[in-house]
Amino acid sequence: MKIAFFSYKSYDKEWFNKFNEEYGFEFRYFKVKLTEETVVYAKGCDAVCAFVNDDLGRPIIENLAQLGVKMIAMRCAGFNNVDLDATKQHGIKVFRVPAYSPHAVAEHAVALILTLNRKTHKAYNRVREGNFSLERLTGFNLYGKTIGVIGTGKIGAIFCNLMLGFGCKVLAYDLYPNEELKKQGIKYTDLTELLSSSDIVSLNTPLLPETAHMINKYTLNLMKDGAMLINTSRGGLIDTMDAIDALKSGKLGSLGIDVYEQEEGLFFHNLSEKVITDDKISRLLSFPNVLITSHQAFFTREALDEISKVTLQNILDFQKGKDNKNIVLG
């Protein structure tokens, strides 16, 4: 099979080429994002391998169908950028990698918490400049704090256990409570109690119509004064302007995000010599109590191994007509 890779980075090429030795597929790599202008690059390919920021709306799907593409292999868990009605109409199968790095993402959430709290990023820069002062580096003990976890799927469950290891009290909110977590002493509650009782709130839920902007002016006002908010899930869970207002007023004590609702065109790119025209993220970057990483929570060697292996197996199963649990049904 011939597969067109869009939006590829050096690490994609390195990892996929390594594992492709077992499969023998023909890869065509394109650094450009999949768009109406670049979809023609998929001509002659049986499948496309896409990422979260590629455009897989109806016009793109129609063009892919005309080019003879029969499969879309998402090398990520998310597929909200895919028009599933269009793929179903044109007989294009969509596969994904559902859970390639739950530990990596959960651990990154902890890293954001510890960095914001103990200000290690600021201390690092100070010491390199010969400033060994401790002024304005005060943090708090994580032990004994109440952590609110919204979403207890694989990542959320691992994060809950990590927080228990720190000696925290953990509250959880999920439409489908995890009975094993309950046995470990985690209390499921409603969203209002969780927000009003938690010192730190972590978002671990998928982006769905009912969860879009679930953190907004109203829910931010329910939170404790000075609470910390962490998001390693999907940027669209937070209304950015409402978060900025809460930071300005001091209602929100600190914010750590690995995702951003307008990250397309920003994240995964080096813009160090360009003017960033997104006023919202520029405002966020101006706050001393905001920490932003660019969708790197998943980025471990183990995760890249899993992404490559599962994606290639998805393609092989499609080629052989085998059942595969990673197919996305529209």
Per-residue model confidence as pLDDT tens digits over 63-78: 999 999 999 999 998 8
- What's the CA dihedral at 284, 171, 169, 229 to 10 degrees? 0
- For residues 180-190, b (16+ Cβ closer than 10 Å) or e, as one string? ebeeeebebbe
- Please give the full DSSP string across 77-114, using - where no structure is assigned: S--TTB-HHHHHHTT-EEE----S-HHHHHHHHHHHHH
Collect all residues with Cβ–Cβ distance below 8 Å to 282 and sequence separation of at least 6: 276
Q: Are 258 and 230 in contact (CB under 8 A)?
A: no
- Please give the full DSSP string across 157-206, using - where no structure is assigned: HHHHHHHHHTT-EEEEE-SS--HHHHHTTPEE--HHHHHHH-SEEEE---
Strand pairing partners for 246?
none
Q: Are residues 115 and 79 in the same domain?
A: no
Q: Are residues 41 and 139 in the same domain?
A: no
pLDDT greater at residue 75 or residue 330: 75
Q: Are 252 and 223 in contact (CB under 8 A)?
A: yes
The pair of structure tokens assigned to 222 is: 């329910």
Mean pLDDT of 102-119: 97
pLDDT at position 166, please? 98
- Residues acting as catalytic residues: 234, 263, 295
pLDDT at position 14, please? 97
Mean pLDDT across the chain: 96
Q: Are 25 and 1 in contact (CB under 8 A)?
A: yes
Q: Are residues 288 and 308 in the same domain?
A: no
Question: CA angle at residue 290 from 289 to 291, to 5 degrees?
Answer: 125
Query: What distance in Å separates the CA atoms of residue 253 and residue 242, rounded to the nearest whole number?
Result: 14
Question: What is the percentage of the chain residues whose pLDDT exceeds 70?
Answer: 100
Q: Are residues 203 and 251 in the same domain?
A: yes
Q: Are residues 108 and 76 in the same domain?
A: no
Query: What distance in Å separates the CA atoms of residue 65 and residue 87, rounded to the nearest whole number?
Result: 9
What CATH number does residue 8 fall under?
A: 3.40.50.720
Q: Are residues 307 and 280 in the same domain?
A: no
> Which pLDDT band holds residue 264 (cuts at 50, 70, 90)?
confident
Residue 289 has pLDDT above 90, yes or no: yes
- In Å, how far are 239, 242, 244, 254 from 219, measured between CA atoms? 10, 10, 14, 15
Residue 270 has pLDDT above 90, yes or no: no
Query: What distance in Å separates the CA atoms of residue 298 and residue 17, rounded to the nearest whole number?
Result: 20
pLDDT at position 34, please? 97
- Domain around 23: 2-100+300-328
Task: Convert the pLDDT of each residue in 224-257 to its tens digit.
Answer: 999 999 999 999 999 999 999 999 999 999 999 9
Helices and strands of the chain, counted as H and E runs: 12, 13
Other Cβ atoms less than 10 A from the Cβ of 322: the count is 10
Residue 172 has pLDDT above 70, yes or no: yes
Query: What distance in Å separates the CA atoms of residue 171 and residue 150, rounded to the nearest whole number?
Result: 9
> Which pLDDT band holds residue 20 (cuts at 50, 70, 90)?
very high
pTM for the model: 0.90
Mean pLDDT of 81-96: 96
pLDDT at position 101, please? 87
Residue 117 has pLDDT above 70, yes or no: yes
Residue 320 has pLDDT above 70, yes or no: yes
pLDDT at position 330, please? 61
> Which pLDDT band holds residue 99 (cuts at 50, 70, 90)?
confident
> Which pLDDT band holds residue 268 (cuts at 50, 70, 90)?
confident
Total structural domains within the chain: 2
Q: Are residues 71 and 82 in the same domain?
A: yes
